[in-house]
Homo-oligomer: A and B are copies of this chain.
């Protein structure tokens, strides 16, 4: 309590002590040397200068340097790597067969019909048939539309 009071107001206390000491010194000099009338102005000037310096010092101590905090927002994208869950409701709504979904996924991956056929060990004709059925169920006209819609409905990642 008392320590904290001292700590908080140590500058003001120091100021008071200086003032008291100065007054004591002047009183002492007044008694010892009767030269007040002679150098009165000198003393006043010294006092002024000393306490101006004290004031400056106090000002610098009391005024804390302002701290301006600038918050820079750094955007971090949350990756959905590997955490895709198909929208089962939409899947059921569309009524795609497993094979049709497989073809759709490979379409979205950028494979040509012939490549898809090879991947699934069936003929090109089979892929064309599945595509046709797929477009019908999804009410689209071409593969890019199918892929776009499938991603939008979260049927494929």
Contacts and interface: CB of A to CB of B under 8 A. Distances in A.
B142 A112 contact: yes
B58 A60 contact: no
Contact of A22 (B48, B111, B112): B48
A63 B63 CA distance: 11
A109 interface: yes
B58 A47 contact: no
Interface residues of A, number: 58
Contacts of A108: 144, 148
A71 interface: yes
24 contacts: A19-B45, A19-B48, A22-B44, A44-B47, A51-B55, A52-B54, A56-B58, A58-B59, A59-B60, A65-B68, A68-B69, A69-B70, A69-B72, A75-B76, A78-B78, A107-B144, A108-B148, A109-B148, A110-B147, A110-B149, A111-B144, A112-B142, A143-B144, A147-B147
